[in-house]
Structure 1
């Protein structure tokens, strides 16, 4: 009789403590591993979000500053020496690649700047540079796309495992009192909650960051096309 009372009191005590720490510390080993894995993924997700947000703000700000200098009417050669020779952002990298290819072609003795395939080489240099820079900017974004759909299922796995563990404990104790059932169920459902808290920011961030990257890629494509046209006109003038 006393033992039954002690068991009931222990269950009631566990049911009364439903803090985050208690839900974690009282969970089974498998559920703890699931929770720790999801928490680790969540930390990486937020690190990516902060890093990409700061990066996008920086490169857009630097691109705007460079475009102001580019369209100010100054010498392209001087701009190449100050910005293009050692680019610090994708926009100046595109400018430097195109300008460098154009200058190398101009130094070739007897080359026809109009018919010598210069435009094709400049366009290819621009395209390769844009692809390389966008690949670098999209690094780790695929992690967000992976975590967003997977995290809820990982959390659900922890929930199912926790519920199975709880029912096993109930069968062993032959006690279906709510005070015995509630803590185990709460711990199991906590895994699903962590999965959702990991997946939702990852899903939202992936869409926002991907859209920002697509817009910036369009911006690079537009600048590259305009600059290629300028170099083409200068080639015709030199010819």
Structure 2
């Protein structure tokens, strides 16, 4: 028997259980790479959009004009833009409804912005936990396929009149393919999960810092108006 077996030959010669394990692991790998590519693009764009908006925010543009500009494209807001829009909208509403309660105005605005931030982070984290699941279970699924394949190989060997290494080696090789594919699926998934999680955490920190800074501006504004009145 040739010592050079390609993957297709190993797959076709494996038992049905091992074949199913391999198919599942390949499917996990494909889905993982799709998530990695999609989330990487989304997070890169989110960080870029956040930086662009905050540069505009700190350029000295009037907040009312900035809010009006964002209102014209309400459905397309995300990240820092969405947080600012929600916060300033709530600030304006509370200021009109109860102008003599500055602390309530600031607390309500801050609470609205934090809720908006949580929704943004939840959207950014979509599908990322699946990578952690793949990273955790893929090696064990592959190991299950390997154990099953080796058991199948030895059971077939038991019925042979003469047992040789040449007879059992192909079966063991077929089984070990499952472990190899399990690692192939798990390693990129765990690396991507860690990297994407760090990028989400960085964005969350940026959003949190923006909320604190914007809240300070609103605080100064509302108390300045209180003194003038």
TM-score, normalised to structure 1's length? 0.90
Structure 1 residue 172 displacement after superposition: 1.6
Structure 1 residue 100 displacement after superposition: 0.6
Deviates more, 1:28-37 or 1:65-74: 65-74
> What are the residue-to-residue correspondences of 1:43-192 with 2, within 5 Å?
43-83=30-70, 86=74, 87-108=76-97, 111-115=99-103, 117-192=104-179
Is the Cα contact below 8 Å between 2:142 and 2:179 reproduced in 1?
yes
In structure 1, how many angstroms separate the alpha carbons of the residues matched to 2:181 and 2:211?
A: 44
Question: Which structure has the greater CA radius of gyration?
Answer: 1
Segments of 4+ moved more than 3 angstroms: none
Taking only aligned residues, the RMSD between alpha carbons, in angstroms, comes to: 1.4
TM-score, normalised to structure 2's length? 0.93
Q: Would the alpha carbon gap of residues 84 and 229 (structure 1) be closer, same or farther in structure 2, given more than 3 Å must change? A: farther
**Aligned match of 2:183:** 196
Q: Give the match's secondary structure for 2:102.
A: coil
Q: How many residues are aligned here?
A: 224
In structure 2, how many angstroms separate the alpha carbons of the residues matched to 1:35 and 1:175?
A: 30
In structure 2, how many angstroms separate the alpha carbons of the residues matched to 1:185 and 1:81?
A: 68
1:27 aligns with 2:8: no
Is the Cα contact below 8 Å between 1:30 and 1:158 reproduced in 2?
yes
Q: Which runs of 5+ in 2 are unaligned?
A: none
In structure 2, how many angstroms separate the alpha carbons of the residues matched to 1:227 and 1:77?
A: 14
**Aligned match of 2:212:** 225
CA deviation profile, 1:104-163 (whole Å, cap 9, x unmatched):
12222x621524x10110111111111111111111111111111211010000000000
Is the Cα contact below 8 Å between 1:84 and 1:97 reproduced in 2?
no
In structure 1, how many angstroms separate the alpha carbons of the residues matched to 2:156 and 2:38?
A: 45
Q: Give the match's secondary structure for 1:107.
A: helix
Structure 1 residue 84 displacement after superposition: 5.6
Is the Cα contact below 8 Å between 2:49 and 2:79 reproduced in 1?
no
In structure 1, how many angstroms separate the alpha carbons of the residues matched to 2:221 and 2:130?
A: 44
In structure 2, how many angstroms separate the alpha carbons of the residues matched to 1:208 and 1:99?
A: 33
**Aligned match of 1:4:** none
CA deviation profile, 1:153-203 (whole Å, cap 9, x unmatched):
100000000000000111122332232211111100000000000010111
Q: Give the match's secondary structure for 1:209.
A: helix
